[in-house]
Amino acid sequence: MSIAFIGLGIMGSPMAANLVRAGYDVTGYDVTQDRVDQLVDRGGHAARSVAEAVKGADTVITMLPDSPQVEQVAPTIVDHGGPDLLYIDMSTIRPDTSRWIAGQGIRSLDAPVSGGEKGAIDATLSIMVGGDPQDFERALPLLKAVGKTIVHVGPSGAGQTVKAANQLVVGGIYGLVAEAIVLLEASGVDPGKGLDVLAGGLAGSRILELKRRSMVAREFAPGFRIDLHHKDMGIALAAAREAGLALPLTGQVAQLVAAARAQGHGALDHSALLKVIERLNS
C-alpha cells in the first residue's frame, strides 16, 4: 500500500520512518528539503510537491503545524487524489477545519496524536480518531504502525475535540508541576526527592514520570514547543466558546502559555512554563 506523507517535522519524520519499517511504500514531502532527504535515507521516496506525493497514493497523511497549513494543502490533495483515496490528517488543528475537509467529497479522518516525540519514535502514540467507522477500520492497520492506543471517538472533528481536551489537561499539569517545584525549592525541600514521592502517589502522571528530572534541571529543549501549545490552547478555548461553555482553569492555563510566549520562550519545550512561574515569584 502506498502512502503520501506531508510534513516531516519532529513528529512526522519518525512516524513516516515507522511506516517504512512496517513495510509501507512511503513518499514524503516537506517544504524543508533536508527532511525529505532524511526520509529517503530511511527507505522512503522523495516528492517535490504535494501534488507529486499524492499522485497514485492509496492514503495521504498530513502532519503539519496548524489549520492554515492544512487548509493550504487540502485542496491539492482533493484535486490530485484518486477516487478511493483516504486522507488522514494527524496534525492538531481546529475541529471545524476537520469538518470542512470531510465536506470536500473525499474519504477523510481526523487523527491527532498524543505522546510527543518519544511516542512518535517508539510508535506508541495515542491516536484519537474522528470520522466514518468504515474509514477507521481501513486506516487501523496503518495507525497501528505508529501508535498503540487507537480509539475511534466519533464523527469528523471529534478526534480534534478530544485532542483539545488532552492539551488543556497537559497544560494544566505542567503549570501545577511548575508551581510545586517553585514551592518546594522556596521552602528548602529538595524538589527532586519531593517530585519522586508525588510521582508514586495519586498525583502521579506520565508528565511527572517523564519530565520531572528535566524540569528540576531546567532543561527545556523541545519536545513540544510552547508556540504549538499556545495554538492548542486557542483551539481549546474556541471549542469551549462554540459549545457555550465556561472553562475557567483552561483560561488560566492559556494565559500561562501566552505569558511564556510573550517572555520569548516560544521555541522551548512546554515544560518551560516553569520559567513563567519562577518569574512571577522573583
| Residues annotated catalytic, as ranges | 163
Q: The C-alpha cell of 177 is what?
A: 508541576
- Closest approach of ligand NAD to the CB of residue 32, in Å: 4
Q: Which is nearer to ligand NAD, 20 or 61 (CB)?
A: 61
- Closest approach of ligand NAD to the CB of residue 190, in Å: 29
Closest chain position to ligand NAD (CB): 9
Amino acid at 85: L
Q: Which is nearer to ligand NAD, 73 or 239 (CB)?
A: 73
Q: Which is nearer to ligand NAD, 63 or 215 (CB)?
A: 63
Q: Which is nearer to ligand NAD, 116 or 147 (CB)?
A: 116
Residues that bind ligand NAD (CB under 6 A): 6-12, 29-32, 35, 63-65, 69, 72-73, 91-92, 113-114, 116-117, 223-224, 228
- Closest approach of ligand NAD to the CB of residue 137, in Å: 24
- Closest approach of ligand NAD to the CB of residue 13, in Å: 8
Distance CA 116, CA 139 (A): 21
Would you list the DSSP string of the chain?
-EEEEE--STTHHHHHHHHHHTT-EEEEE-SSHHHHHHHHHTT-EE-SSHHHHHTT-SEEEE--SSHHHHHHHHHHHHHHS-TT-EEEE-S---HHHHHHHHTTSSEEEE--EESHHHHHHHT-EEEEEEE-HHHHHHHHHHHHTTEEEEEEEESTTHHHHHHHHHHHHHHHHHHHHHHHHHHHHHTT--HHHHHHHHHHSTT--HHHHHHHHHHHTT----SSBHHHHHHHHHHHHHHHHHTT---HHHHHHHHHHHHHHHTT-TTSBGGGHHHHHHHHT-
Q: Which is nearer to ligand NAD, 85 or 226 (CB)?
A: 226
- Closest approach of ligand NAD to the CB of residue 228, in Å: 4
